Amino acid sequence: MRVVLVDAGGTNIGSVRYALQRLGADAELTADAESIRSADKVILPGVGAAGPGMARLRELALTEVIRSLTQPVLGVCLGMQLLCEHSAEGDTDCLGVVPASVRRFDETPERCVPHMGWNRLSPVAEHPLLRHLQAGDWTYFVHSYAVPVGSYTLASSDYGGAFSAVIAHGNFHGMQFHPERSARVGARLLENFLEL
């Protein structure tokens, strides 16, 4: 099985790659369109802002490549948000393969933004990506923007209201948290993706 990590400049690429190696998958880091198209699994990691993230994908001529993929694709953190239609962060048009718009969390005196730290998952749909996931399992988040709950939501989390923590739409999947930092639960979810 060939797994590729899209080299879109995300700062979490090394840790995602190491997490995959622990599962026995030696993922190739690439920005080559043909390598991405021919992979069995594609992972789009990302840390940072939507505007620069999309600018990097356009600069590499990868937007249409990613949109046209038919194998399982996983977006992680910013990578998940980039799969959506639009992000309020910088008023950015994204890849548009998941019918959702990304919104900023509301900041209050009791709730700071970014949402950073451990939070619980609540499964809301049956899906192979969630195999062995238990309601209340903990994962690690760092983000200021979130995907609202919708028909694509597999698991939600709560930060002043429910938001999508795991999504799927066709062959496109996303995890808002960092599976590579989420201990046993994150490893299990990455393994589930590799088994799709």
- The answer to whether 85 is a known catalytic residue is no
**Is 77 known to be catalytic?**
yes
Catalytic residue among 77, 89, 143, 191: 77
Record the tokens describing residue 152, joined without a space. 């694509």
Is residue 91 packed enough to be buried (19+ CB in 10 Å), middle (13-18) or exposed (0-12)? exposed
Instruction: State the amino acid at position 135 in one-letter form.
Output: A
Cα dist from 14 to 56, 73, 136, 146, 196, whole Å: 18, 18, 28, 23, 23
Q: Is residue 110 annotated as part of the catalytic site, yes or no?
A: no
- Tell which phi-psi region holds residue 48, choosing left (phi > 0), alpha (psi between -120 and 50) or beta: left
Catalytic-role residue among 94, 115, 180, 191: 180
What is the residue type of 196? L
3-state SS of 71-132 is: CCEEEECHHHHHCEEEECCCCEECCCCEEEEEEECCCECCECCCEEEEEECEECCCCHHHCC
Q: Which of 115, 143, 173, 178 is catalytic?
A: 178
Distance CA(130)–CA(111), nearest Å, equals 28
Active site residues: 77, 178, 180
